[in-house]
Amino acid sequence: MAGRAVQKEFDDRSASIGSADPPILPHFERRLASAGNKASLTSIAPAIVSRRSIGTLQPVWADVENRQSIYVLEEGLAYSFTFLPGGKRHIDDIYGPGAICNWARFGSPEYKCNIMLKPNSRVAILDPARLQDALKDNLNLLMAIQRHELARTLRISQRVRALISLPAPHRLAIFLLDLREEYHLSGHRESWLPLVFTQEEMADLAGMTEVHVNRTLSKMVDAGELERRPGMYCLPNADRLERQLGYRRFGKGHSDASHA
């Protein structure tokens, strides 16, 4: 089903050596730390079923593979997606290093979603039941995760509102800001960011055409709102853009939520 994928097992040392110093899931740990978690993640080590290194673009279908697992991205980039009745694909959300790709499954096992892993990604696959066991004695950790995921939910709501109501340039700008924020949460601090998304993928996320994505990006470059190098992009005055679009970051200490 997934073509002849170059998929080799990622070596499992860090998980199997046990209670050692090198952190299991370092990116995940850093994210949770910035969400207020102080403890280490060794307690959830038993929940890790396996790890995978991804060579090529690779889908995880909700129906078939590992439908009962939770995916934590440790390296690379991923997104969740759905097919609409017409056969069109819609991209629901994007995930950078340290993100949980389908946290909803933790609380509601009937929740399913397709995940696409970009090349050069690494994921840890967790068992929800065992994770629940591990978190039972670790309420602070659980709450940190929930705070982290609430921020994601709020960010999705913000983006979705924009995608429904605003014109294409704004829609794309919001996507780029979200991508920027996702990298930021992953510890990326440079102003130039890797743009691993295809224009077709951006189209599927923003609800527009590949062609129109291309043209809109060009216009943003002309307007000085965007700079491009091969495989990279940069928002020269992101702050102004955020102010202009009323963009809010939910990751850090921003406590109040949506209104005008």
Map the footprint of DNA across residues 149-208, applying CB under 7 A. 167-169, 198-200, 207-208
Rounded to whole angstroms, the Cα distance separating 128 from 108 reads 10
Residue nearer to its own copies on the CB measure, 81 or 183 = 81
- Is residue 164 at the binding interface for its own copies, with CB under 8 A as the rule? yes
Least distance between DNA and beta carbon 223 (Å): 13
- Is residue 7 at the binding interface for DNA, with CB under 7 A as the rule? no
Segment near its own copies (CB under 8 A), from 27-35, 61-69, 181-189, 190-198? 61-69
Least distance between its own copies and beta carbon 240 (Å): 13
- Is residue 214 at the binding interface for DNA, with CB under 7 A as the rule? yes
Rounded to whole angstroms, the Cα distance separating 23 from 221 reads 41
- Is residue 244 at the binding interface for DNA, with CB under 7 A as the rule? no
Segment near its own copies (CB under 8 A), from 30-38, 122-130, 152-160, 232-240? 152-160
CB 219 within 8 A of CB 2: no
Q: Kindly determine how many residues on this chain lie close enough to bind DNA according to the rule CB under 7 A.
A: 21
Rounded to whole angstroms, the Cα distance separating 220 from 207 reads 18
Q: Is 74 helix (H, G, I), strand (E, B) or coil?
A: strand
Rounded to whole angstroms, the Cα distance separating 252 from 255 reads 8
> What is residue 8's DSSP assignment?
-
Single residue of 36, 119, 194, 246 touching DNA by CB under 7 A: 119
User: In the numeric block, which tokens belong to residue 236?
Assistant: 């020269």
Give the per-residue contact string, 37-56, with DNA (x = CB under 7 A; - = no). Answer: -------------------x
Q: Which residues contact 213 (CB under 8 A, 6 or more apart)?
A: 172, 199, 200, 202, 203, 206
- Burial of 174: CB neighbours in 10 Å, binned 0-12, 13-18, 19+: buried
Rounded to whole angstroms, the Cα distance separating 34 from 31 reads 5
Q: Which residues bind its own copies (CB under 8 A)?
A: 61-63, 82-86, 88, 90, 92, 107-108, 110-114, 146, 150, 154, 157, 160-166, 206-207, 244-246, 255-260
Binding site for DNA (CB under 7 A): 56, 119, 167-169, 198-200, 207-212, 214-218, 230-231
